[in-house]
Amino acid sequence: MQSKMKESDPILEVENLSASTDNLPILKGVSLTVYPGEIHAIMGRNGCGKSTLSKIIAGHPSYSITNGDIKFLGENINSLEPEERSQSGIFLGFQYPIEIPGVSNLEFLRVSTNARRKFLNKEELDTFDFEELVKEKLEIVKMDHAFLSRSVNQGFSGGEKKRNEILQMALLEPKIAILDETDSGLDIDALRIVASGIKKISNAQTGIILITHYQRLLDEIKPNYVHVMSDGQIIKTGESDLALELEEKGYEWTDNFIKET
Amino acid sequence: MVNENLVKDVVKEPYKYGFVTDIETEKIEKGLNEDIIKLISQKKEEPKFLLNFRLKAFKKWQKMKEPDWAALGYKKIDYQDIIYYSAPKQKEKISSLDEVDPKLLETFDKLGIPLTEQKKLTNVAVDAVFDSVSIATTFREELAEHGVIFCSISEAVKNHPDLIEKYLGTVVPSSDNYFAALNSAVFSDGSFVYIPKGVTCPMDLSSYFRINSGDSGQFERTLIIAEESSSVSYLEGCTAPMFDTNTLHAAVVELIALDDASIKYSTVQNWYAGDEEGIGGIFNFVTKRGKCLGKRSKISWSQVETGSAITWKYPSCLLLGEESIGEFYSVALTNNLQQADTGTKMIHIGPKTKSTIVSKGISAGNSKNSYRGLVKMGTKAKGSRNYSQCDSMLIGDQASANTFPYIKSQQPNSEIEHEASTCRISEDQLFYLQSRGIEFEEAVSMMVSGFCRDVFNQLPMEFAAEADKLLALKLEGSVG
C-alpha cells in the first residue's frame, strides 16, 4: 500500500480522535492520514460519524475533542477557529449548504476568497478583479453568472447548491477538501459536472476526502483508499475495490468486522 | 443558538460618543409651569403668537395623561425634575463661525461633523444643535442663491414668522399626543427648511442633534416645507454623552409636501442607550409626521434606530393629495436592556394614494423590540394601495420581538397587503460563513446587513455605509 507519494509530508493527520457533542460520544478513536495527491473515500451507514468527522476537522463549535489530535501540515489545529482553518487551506463541502438570506453570493465569495488570499500574502481582490477571477471559475462548474447576484444558496436547487460549494472550493484552492456527500441529490449530469470540477481543482499537491454512500461518485473520481466507518470508528480500510465490494454486499457485511474487533 | 462562550470572548466596543463637553452653560431652574414657558419664549425673543401657541399647548398637556399603550416599561418621568432650557454661553449675537466657542466646534469635530469653512463636509449642509440651541448652519449663502431657506427654527421665527405661523402645528397639532403637547409648550430649537416652488435642493440638508447636559431635556422642533414641484433630501443624526441618569428627548418633526413635491427624511439615531445593566440612556419620545398635501406629492421616511434606552416613535404620513405616496423604511436595533416600540401610520385620505412600509427589527441581548403600525383607508381613498413588510431578527434567546399591525379600511376599493416574518441567526449559518474564512463578527454583521438591505438601499449613500458600520459596532460583544 505504500506509494511513492508518501515521500512527502502528510497534509492531514487525524490521530486517535475522539469527540462528543452534549456529552454524547460520536467519534471513538479515528485515525486517518492524507498525503498530497491522495483521494480518500469514507463510507458508512447514516449516523456512523462520517459527517461529524468532517465537521470536527473544519472546527464546528458544537463538538468537543475529548482525545487525540488533528494535525494540518504538521501543526496541531485542535484549538483553531473555523475561519483560521479555512484561511490556512482546509475546505469543507457541506452536505446541506446553508442559505443566508440577503447576503449576495458574489460578495460572500469575494470576502471568503480574500480571507484566504490574505493568509497566503496575496493581494486582496477588488470587485472588478474578483469578477474576472470568478468568471473563470464559473466555467469549471458550468454555473451561470446570474447565480452571483442571488443570496447565498437561497432558493438554489439541490444541484445548484452543490455546484456553488465546488465553486467555493475552486476559488479557495484549499490544500485539503473534505466533501461531505457532495453527490447526494444530484442527477447524473450534475454529478458529472461536480466530479469533473473536483478533478480540475485538485492536483498532486492537494488531498481530497470524499464522504459518500454511493459508488457512482467513485466511478467518476477513483479513490486511492476507501475507509468504512461504523459507530465512530474506521473499521476497515482498503483500496478502491473495497467500495465495489461494499456496494455488492451492503453494510451488513461490514458488521462482521465489528464483531471481529 | 449561538455559542455562548464564543460570544463572550468577543471584545466589547464602548459607546464612542459618550464624552461630555466641559462648557459654561446657561440653564434655567428645574421644573415646568407657565412662568418657565414665558421665560423660554422671552429668551428667544419670540412673537406673541408663538407664546400663545406654547401656552395653549401647555394647558392641553396638563389635562393629558402619559400614554401607556406601548410595549415599554420604564420608571415614571418626573416632569418637574427636568431643566427645560440649557444653552452654552456665548456672545449675544454671532455673525460668523469664528465667534463660536472653539469648544463647541471641537465637539462637533469629534462627532465627525466639522463645521468650520476649511473642514466642513462638502456635499451636505449642516445645522448643528447643541442642547437647546442651534450653533451653526453651513452653506447658508449657497442655499439662499437657490431660494432655499435652511436655518434654526429660532431664526425662522424671527426672519420668516409668516411661514411659521402658517405651518407650525398644522401636521402635528399641539394636542396630538402627550409628548407632542409637551414639545409644543417648551421646544427650544431645531431646524427649519423651506424649498421654493420648482427647486430641487442642490445638496442634502442635515441636522445634527447633540445632547450635552445630563439634567436637561431636549425638545427640538423641525419643520420642512416643500413647495410645488420641489424636492429635498434631509438627514438627521443624534448622539449624547453617557450619564447614569435618563434624559428625556421629546421632539416633533413636521413635513409638508405640496403638489408634485418630494421630501426624503433619513435618520440615524444613536442616542446613548444606557449600559449593559440598563442604567442611564435617553428616553426618546418623538412625534414625526408628514403631510402629503399636494397631488402626486411624496414623503419618504427612512430611519436607523440604534440608540436610546426607550424609543417611542412612529414617523407617519397623511396622504391627502390624489396619487400621493408615503414610504417608511426602518431598521431598529435593540441590545442589552433597550426597548423600542416603533413603526408608522399611513393614513390614506385621498384617492389613488400609495404607501410602502418595510420594517426590520433586530433584537439582541435582553432587549425588547416592537413594530407597531397603522394602515388606514379612508372613505375617499378609492383605488389606494398599501404594502407592508415587517421582519424581525432575533439574536440569542433572551431577546424579544413583537409585531402589532393595525388595519382599518373604510374603502372597499383599496388594497392592503401585510407580510411578516421572524428569523434567528443560527449557529449553522455562522459556522458556514466561518468555515469559508469569514470571522465570527464579520459573519454576524454580514447577516445583519443582509437582513437590513432593503432599508439600507433607501438611505443616502454615505449614510448607508455609516449605518452598516454602526450596526456592526452596536452588535459587537452582544451576539449571544
Q: In this complex, do B437 and A102 lie within 8 Å of one another by their Cβ atoms?
A: no
Determine the pLDDT at residue A21: 92
| Secondary structure (DSSP) of A24-63 | EEEEEEEEEEE-TT-EEEEEE-TTSSHHHHHHHHHT-TT-
Determine the pLDDT at residue B449: 83
Q: Which residue of A has its CA nearest to B455?
A: A102
Residue B53 carries which side chain, given as an amino acid letter?
Answer: F
Buried b (16+ CB within 10 A) or exposed e, B88-106: bebeeeeeeeeebbeebbe
Partner-chain residue, chosen from B426, B439, B450, that has the shortest CB–CB distance to A102: B450
Residues in chain A closer than 8 A to B439 (CB atoms): 81, 83, 115
Q: In this complex, do A60 and B431 lie within 8 Å of one another by their Cβ atoms?
A: yes
Partner-chain residue, chosen from B6, B426, B447, that has the shortest CB–CB distance to A103: B447
Q: Closest Cα of chain A to B451: distance in Å? A: 5
Contact present, B210 and B238 (Cβ < 8 Å): yes
Residue B26 carries which side chain, given as an amino acid letter?
Answer: E
Strands B281-292 and B316-319: parallel
Partner-chain residue, chosen from A101, A112, A119, that has the shortest CB–CB distance to B436: A112
Higher-pLDDT residue of A14, B275: A14
Determine the pLDDT at residue B307: 83
Task: State phi, psi for A143 to the nearest 5 degrees.
Answer: -105, 150
Determine the pLDDT at residue B12: 37
Determine the pLDDT at residue A258: 65
Is B463 within a domain? no
SS3 B125: strand
Determine the pLDDT at residue B117: 67
Determine the pLDDT at residue B5: 32
Which percentage of chain A shows pLDDT scores above 90? 77
Query: What's the CA gap between A19 and B72, in Å, rounded?
Result: 46
Determine the pLDDT at residue B477: 57
Is B391 within a domain? yes
| Secondary structure (DSSP) of B281-318 | EEEEEEEEEEEE-STT-EEEEEEEE---SEEEE--EEE
| Secondary structure (DSSP) of A181-250 | STTTT--HHHHHHHHHHHHHH--TT-EEEEE-S-HHHHHHS--SEEEEEETTEEEEEE-HHHHHHHHHH-
Is B455 within a domain? no
Is B435 within a domain? no
Residue A28: count of CB within 10 angstroms of its CB: 16
When pLDDT is averaged across residues A8-13 and rounded to a whole number, the result is 94
Query: What's the CA gap between B358 and A261, in Å, rounded?
Result: 62
Contact present, B147 and B226 (Cβ < 8 Å): no
Partner-chain residue, chosen from A83, A104, A107, that has the shortest CB–CB distance to B437: A83
Determine the pLDDT at residue B94: 56
Is B11 within a domain? no
Q: Closest Cα of chain B to A70: distance in Å? A: 16
Contact present, B474 and B306 (Cβ < 8 Å): yes
Q: In this complex, do B440 and A98 lie within 8 Å of one another by their Cβ atoms?
A: no
Query: What's the CA gap between B207 and A57, in Å, rounded?
Result: 53
Q: Closest Cα of chain B to A239: distance in Å? A: 30
In angstroms, the Cα distances linking A11 to A52, A178, A184, B131, B271 are 20, 12, 26, 63, 52
| Secondary structure (DSSP) of B160-219 | -HHHHHHHTTSSS-TTSSHHHHHHHHH----EEEEE-TTPBPSSEEEEEEE---SSB-B-
Is B342 within a domain? yes
- Is the alpha carbon torsion for B2, B8, B11, B13 positive or negative? positive
Determine the pLDDT at residue A55: 96
Q: Is the predicted pLDDT of residue A145 greater than 50, yes or no?
A: yes
Written as tens digits, the pLDDT of chain B (480 aa) is 333 333 333 223 467 677 777 777 778 888 899 999 999 999 888 999 999 999 999 999 999 999 888 888 888 889 998 888 887 776 555 566 667 777 777 777 777 777 776 666 667 788 887 776 777 788 888 899 999 999 989 999 999 999 999 999 999 999 899 999 999 999 988 899 999 999 999 988 988 887 777 777 889 899 999 999 999 999 888 777 777 778 888 999 999 999 999 999 998 888 787 888 878 888 899 999 999 999 999 999 999 888 888 899 999 999 999 999 999 999 998 888 889 999 999 999 999 999 999 999 988 888 899 999 999 999 999 999 999 999 999 888 888 999 999 999 999 999 999 999 888 888 899 999 999 999 988 898 888 888 888 888 887 776 677 777 777 776 765 554
Is B369 within a domain? yes
Q: Which domain holds residue B163?
A: 28-426
Is B454 within a domain? no
Determine the pLDDT at residue A165: 96
Q: In this complex, do A108 and B436 lie within 8 Å of one another by their Cβ atoms?
A: yes
Interface residues of A toward B, Cβ cutoff 8 Å, are: 58-62, 81-83, 85-87, 92, 94, 97-98, 100-104, 107-108, 111-112, 115-116, 119, 151, 168, 172
pLDDT band for A29, please (50, 70, 90 cuts). very high
Residue A42 carries which side chain, given as an amino acid letter?
Answer: I
What the block records as the C-alpha cell of B405 is 399591525
Q: How many residues does chain A have?
A: 261
In angstroms, the Cα distances linking B84 to A105, B152, B247 are 52, 18, 11
Determine the pLDDT at residue B455: 87
What pTM was computed for the model? 0.81
Query: What's the CA gap between B154 and A144, in Å, rounded?
Result: 59
Domain count, chain B: 1
Contacts of A25 (CB under 8 A, 6+ apart): A18, A19, A66, A232
Determine the pLDDT at residue B8: 30
Identify the residue among B9, B360, B432 best suited for mutation to test binding to A, counting A beta carbons within 10 A and taking the highest.
B432
Q: Is the predicted pLDDT of residue A261 greater than 90, yes or no?
A: no
